[in-house]
Amino acid sequence: MALPSLTLSLQFGELADAATHRAALPRHWVIRCIRHALDADAEITVRIVDAEEGQALNRDYRGRDYATNVLTFDYAIEPVVMADLVLCAPVVAREAAELKKPLTQHYAHLLVHGTLHAQGWDHETGEADAEEMEARETEILAGLGQPNPYR
């Protein structure tokens, strides 16, 4: 079965260590991660931001005054998934270090996670939904040759 098509805009905000994050997110890898998580064709922007921009977006749009690892802004699911995924580079780097995972591997998980959110998946609606989403993420990541992120 062919993977859905993807139109991708990959953007990097002003980051102190931009080279590290650019190296962890080659365009072909970002496309591969997202396409494997899609159930339909999509137009997605991925933006890598600093802590200040990440915190402002989380505060302004979710009412939570801290920078989080990934924010998903979904605009349409059918017939084409349209969304913005915003990943906060310092948070992702800190989490990867704490989890003792390569930065690329943690980004892959968050790209899949955000893409599932863009298609209506939600882990905050109950235990069963969280378990279902985690299982789907694990399945997608295994297909990408990545380990279970929840171990």
Strands (E), 63-140: 70-76, 81-88
CA pair distance 32, 40, nearest whole angstrom: 14
Q: Is 106 annotated as a binding residue?
A: no
Query: In terms of C-beta density within 10 A (0-12 exposed, 13-18 middle, 19 or more buried), how is residue 12 classed?
Result: middle
CA pair distance 110, 114, nearest whole angstrom: 6
Tokens of 27: 């365009």
| Share of the chain residues as helix, strand and coil, in percent rounded to the nearest 5 | 50, 20, 30
Q: Is 36 annotated as a binding residue?
A: no
Run of H or E residues at 45: strand 42-49
Binding-site positions read 113, 117, 123
Binding-site positions for Zn(2+) read 113, 117, 123
